[in-house]
Amino acid sequence: MSLKTTQSASATSGACSQEPLVSVVIPTYNRALLLQRALKSVLQQTHRNLDVIVVDDASSDDTPEVVRAFDDPRVRYIRNEENRGGAATRNSGIQAAAGEIVAFLDDDDEWEPTKTAEQLRWMKQYAATLCGYHGEERGPARYYQAQPTISLRELQRGFLRGGGTSALMVRTGLLREILFDETLPRCQDWDLCIRLAKRCEIGYVRRPLVRYNDGDHARISNKGRNMSLARLEQELCMVQKHRDFFGPRMYRFHMCRLLLRSIRHRRNKTQHVLYVCRRYGVVGVVSALTDRLYLKMIGKFALP
């Protein structure tokens, strides 16, 4: 793997030596303007001892100039010579991390100012933590239960309550043993959390500390809108990978749920539903659609 990297002076300049150093991995690809907003939210954290690693997945826009303009000694820039995808890009950041703890931020998301500090308090008890999130289109702050941990049972059911990788914080040593699965085109965060939960308890900070961007820009979830169902099915290989863990009923449910996620953007919705019914059964389709309605209701009435 060929990488170009630049590093400013000291990542810990001006920080209290008693505070743990947190490496923040920000993967990015051709989103210079969104990256600028994401970086601002990191550098405005109340916890100041940060090692911020922007991993550029071979962008063709002015991403390097955007990073350079911050002129902050805590910010580092790494560039992939060729486009390698989100999982590989995050893994590059993990391997380059100088901190004892790694956190992630997608370049189209933002952190609340206290996000790092609040999660660090939970990291005294857990080797990995997730937090809640909110977003313009996703409604109020998302958290579904009061339990302080994310159980394997919840991950089996698909209730990943945190806002994906942007809400995840993990001890560096453990993360380097697991890493993201670079063969998966989708659901990489879910896969990682399942593998983490099989090794340790994942703490859950029941507060919306991530601002999630649901925009129409290029995103994995948006790409599925125009993809053929057969191709989308192939990209859901993460569900196939954990088929034994899910069990027959939950396996069919998740395939239905993920294949039906883009239904409102499909022109022929009836054909779409019939295809999924034929492949995974009517019960799975009904369960998936009911679950969708249930989660919308929870999001509507969730308390901040």
- Tell me: the pLDDT tens digits for 23-65? 999 999 999 999 999 999 999 999 999 999 999 999 999 999 9
pLDDT given at position 15: 46
Residue 3 or residue 177, greater confidence: 177
Average pLDDT over residues 208-229: 68
Pairwise CA distance, residues 117 & 59, whole Å:
31
Residue 168 pLDDT > 90, yes or no?
A: yes
Average pLDDT over residues 228-247: 95
What is the CATH T-level fold of the domain 3-212, as seen in this structure? Spore Coat Polysaccharide Biosynthesis Protein SpsA; Chain A (3.90.550)
pLDDT given at position 13: 44
Closest CA to 118 of 20, 205, 25, 18: 205
Whether the Cβ atoms of residue 69 and residue 97 lie closer than 8 Å to each other: no
Which string of DSSP letters, residue by residue, matches 55-111?
EE-S-SSSHHHHHHHH--TTEEEEEESS---HHHHHHHHHHH--SSEEEE--TT-EE
pLDDT given at position 158: 85
Q: Where in the chain is the domain with CATH 3.90.550.10?
A: 3-212
pLDDT given at position 145: 56
State pTM to two decimals: 0.87
pLDDT given at position 217: 47
- C-alpha distance from residue 95 to each of 101, 156, 178 (Å): 12, 29, 12
The one-letter amino acid code at 82 reads E
pLDDT given at position 303: 40
| Most confident region among 3-7, 24-28, 164-168, 217-221 by mean pLDDT | 24-28
Residue 219 or residue 106, greater confidence: 106
Mean pLDDT of the chain: 86
Q: For residue 120, give both structure tokens.
A: 């660090």
pLDDT in tens, 86-134: 999 999 999 999 999 999 999 999 999 999 999 999 999 999 999 988 8
Residue 300 pLDDT > 70, yes or no?
A: no
pLDDT in tens, 173-195: 999 999 999 999 999 999 999 99
* 74-188-128-299 Cα dihedral, nearest 10 degrees: 100
**Angle between helix 243-259 and helix 269-280 axes, rounded to 10 deg:** 160
β-pair type (202-212, 128-135): parallel
Pairwise CA distance, residues 14 & 22, whole Å:
14
pLDDT given at position 302: 46
pLDDT given at position 107: 96
Pairwise CA distance, residues 190 & 193, whole Å:
5
pLDDT given at position 34: 96
Residue 280 pLDDT > 50, yes or no?
A: yes
Exposure string for 119-155, b = 16+ CB within 10 A, e = fewer: bbebbeebbbbbbbbbbeebeebbbeeeeeebeeebb
